[in-house]
C-alpha cells in the first residue's frame, strides 16, 4: 500500500534527521548550511517515489516537514 510506503519513508527520514540533530542544532553552523543539509540528505528520503500520492499521504508528508 502507498500509506505503508509513506510511513516507512517517514521513519527513515526521522532516523536521518535524528542523526543530523547534532549538526542542525550546532551554533557553529550557519542557517544556510543547515538548510542545505536538510534539503540534500533528509528531503530526498521522504519524497522519493511520492509523486503520485493521495491527499492523506501528502498531509502525512507535510506534517513531517513541519516537524523537522
Q: How confident is the model at residue 32 (pLDDT cuts 50, 70, 90)?
A: very high
Cite the DSSP H helix spans in the chain: 2-19, 21-24, 31-37, 43-47, 55-67
Name which residue leads in pLDDT, 46 or 12: 12
37 Cβ contact partners less than 8 Å away, ≥ 6 residues apart: 20, 23, 24
Q: Helix, strand, or coil here: 39?
A: helix
Mean per-residue pLDDT for 24-44?
A: 87
Amino acid at each position: 500500500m502507498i500509506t505503508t510506503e509513506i510511513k516507512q519513508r517517514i521513519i527513515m527520514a526521522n532516523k536521518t534527521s535524528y542523526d543530523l540533530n547534532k549538526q542542525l542544532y550546532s551554533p557553529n553552523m550557519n542557517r544556510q548550511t543547515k538548510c542545505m543539509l536538510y534539503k540534500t540528505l533528509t528531503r530526498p528520503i521522504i519524497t522519493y517515489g511520492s509523486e503520485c500520492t493521495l491527499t492523506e499521504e501528502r498531509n502525512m508528508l507535510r506534517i513531517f516537514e513541519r516537524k523537522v
